[in-house]
Chain A
Amino acid sequence: MPDNVANSPLLEVDDLRTTFTIPTGDVKAVRGVSFTLDRGRTLGIVGESGSGKTVLARSIMRLNLGTNVTTTGTAAFDGNDVLTRSPSEMRQLWGSEMAMVFQDPMTSLNPLVRVQRQVTEHLCRHLNLNRSEARQAAVDLLREVRIPDPDTRLRSFPHELSGGMRQRVCIAVALACEPSLLFADEPTTALDVTVQHQILNLLSREQADREMAMVLVTHDLGVVAGRTDDTMVMYAGTVAEYAPTVSLFADMRHPYSEALMRSIPLTSFPSHTRLAAITGRPPDLIDPPTGCAFSPRCPYVQDHCVNEAPPLVEIDDPAHRLACWTPVGSPEALTAFEKNLAAGLPQAVAVDVSTTWSPTGGVDG
């Protein structure tokens, strides 16, 4: 989609850092993330649990509740930094300019409030609609998100709807005031597989129809494939790789991106194929590693990786940015892998025994 609506980016995040202070120390959940998002464009943020993707989204929306959170850096929305705005200024933005679809539709709707009020209450506040106008708007919204029989559904309580229906209601809530930026935080993780596609398609369609910018947060590379303009792979609160989605999938350079890719099962695999799990656990964010955060789990790790964190730099394609000393497919990576395999490093061995992968980079089959 061409970004011809305006010249300035809608969202410009620069060196965003979010820290939670807990009794055992400071959890550095987001450690310096920068990116820009143009109007009407879509960005996928991918990473495993604890990679900081949800905290990043909530930090930009200023929805990290609690007094123990500090966020530094800037997140300019429409040219103005949201991080310095007052709570009442944020309330003007929330719902009307920025909206969020949450992970679990079972818990993100109030169980004791009928669908109608949940869909209309912010309409009344932001757009000053009266009751009957708001009701009509709600019916239209439910129809738009493909909820059959909207009049009856408005009178339902959330528990009377299925998971997919509830997520549709949540999407209707988020879209109600026509925001220019939508965060979808793992919108399909809690849903049945059969419903996941419908919800993702609904989000894509609404995003395109409304020329709304969307940030799709997910742990599943398969979700962003073919749906987002750009993809950002996050690991341990930092950006590992950032590229247009098409070029990322064509030429995946970060060992972590590659590891995520390797963990996607394909129907072309023979039965009982063992997926290559990523060995080890994500690093402790109270005391993150000095070098590359992925180095303790990386099959291509070398001494340099442990000692110095790689910066996020453009590689051959200027739109493709990477933070890695030994990119996948490079001769250095191959040498490092042979060396690590010989030394019996578990992460290298795990990759080697996996039948689905060859060390030349990429997935077989």
Chain B
Amino acid sequence: MGSFIAIRLVRLVATLLAVSFLTFLLVNLLPGDAINALIPIEAQQDQEYVAQVRAEWGLNDPMLVRYGKWLGDAVRGDLGESIVTSRAVSSEIAHRIPVTGELMIVTVVFSVLMAVPLGVMSAYREGSRLDQVISGGAQFALSVPGFVAGLLFIYVFAMKLGWFPATGWTRISNSISGNLMTVTLPALSLSVIEVAVYARVVRSDLVTTLKEDYILSARSKGLRDGFILFRHALRPSSLTLITVVGLNIGLLLGGTVVVEFLFALPGLGKRLLDAIFQRDFMMVQGITVFVAMVYVVVNTLVDLVYLVVDPRIRKAD
């Protein structure tokens, strides 16, 4: 078990190094000179000033040297400062992360809470009309992108029914109910696909589990179906779900960019989009590495969750 964790920690560090280097490389390969973001076009006539700014930002150094400098600062928690706003990248991230973080957590929790009962019902009545309706619904939901669902929800729940605000964000520190109102529609929009994916995963795993001998043996003990489903079958059927939830965090991060844009939420995705348009390479670099870190850490945690769920892995190490 100790080496199980150690191996994953080494993997985590290696992944972060690779991601940060690749991001650095890609940002450098982006068309457009960073100097355009640093000083207005008119001021670029002054060659001396341009050279001075270049030296100041270290733009003349070879890329590897710049990466080394950036990495040295990054491990100390300093991700540099935004070229556009001159604010520290880390404080921008810290300011934005509650929005995106909450959106993602609400989405994942809501999706799992919706998907597990749907998947369980579907698997329990495999082949029935109910199963067909749920599976068909999931198939349909899978083909609805988040922004389409978002537009639909805005139209129905914000404009027609007026239950929720169409755009904007209320911080949880200002008003809890207000915060819940603003997170609901964006999270629902992101959940549509997630629920479909998770419900299908739960169903297919559970269908397999329900054919296991130990389920038959639980039945032969006279246990109730509900007890067998939730106390015997669900846990062995949840390993794929856990994996998929972890992997989907990445997909979800992509999804938040679009949904934050659609609902005008001041989140990380929106900030990343702005930074790309502004050639704010420090910002792009910082946010990308941060997101990668979250992704890798979440998936490492997922690996550790296996240990909790399946005692055989604890032993197998």
Contact = CB atoms under 8 A, between A and B. Distances in A.
B216 A65 contact: yes
7 contacts: A63-B219, A91-B224, A94-B221, A95-B221, A111-B312, A121-B231, A125-B223
Nearest to A93: B222
B214 A99 contact: no
A160 B211 CA distance: 23
Contacts of A173: 217, 221
B100 to A, nearest CB: 34
Given A110-B236, A121-B221, A126-B222, 5 more contacts: A100-B220, A102-B217, A104-B213, A112-B312, A125-B224
Q: Which 3 A-B pairs have the closest CB atoms?
A: A94-B222, A95-B222, A122-B221
B309 interface: yes
Contacts of A104: 213
Contacts of B221: 94-95, 99, 121-122, 173
B127 interface: yes
Q: Is the interface of B mostly helix, strand, loop or mixed?
A: helix
A179 to B, nearest CB: 10
Nearest to A58: B216
A109 B311 CA distance: 14
Contacts of B219: 63, 65, 94
Interface size class of chain B, counting residues whose CB lies under 8 Å from the partner chain: 20 to 34
B310 A112 contact: yes
Interface centre among A67, A112, A122, A157 (most CB of B within 10 A): A112
A112 B309 contact: yes
Interface string A45-89: 000000000000000010101010000000000000000000000
Contact of A110 (B214, B222, B315): B214
A91 B225 CA distance: 10
B11 interface: no
Interface string A90-126: 1111111001101010011111110000000110011
Interface in B248-295: none
B217 A108 contact: yes
B213 A107 contact: yes
A111 B236 contact: yes
Nearest to B232: A110
Nearest to B236: A112
Nearest to A173: B221
A322 interface: no
Interface of A: 61, 63, 65, 67, 90-96, 99-100, 102, 104, 107-113, 121-122, 125-126, 157, 159-160, 170, 173
A164 B70 CA distance: 61
A94 B222 CA distance: 4
B219 to A, nearest CB: 6
Contacts of B222: 90-96, 122, 125-126
Contacts of B33: none
Nearest to B127: A67
Given A112-B236, A159-B312, A107 B214 contact: yes
B214 A108 contact: yes
Given A102-B216, A107-B213, A108-B213, A113 B223 contact: no
Interface string B185-216: 00000000000000000000000000111101
B315 A107 contact: no
A113 B232 contact: yes
A110 B312 CA distance: 11
B121 interface: no
A61 B220 contact: yes
Interface string B297-317: 000000000000111100100
Contacts of B315: 157, 159-160
A111 B214 contact: yes
B223 to A, nearest CB: 6
Contacts of B19: none
A122 B222 CA distance: 7
B218 interface: yes
B218 A110 contact: yes
A41 to B, nearest CB: 21
Contact of B311 (A99, A126, A157): A157
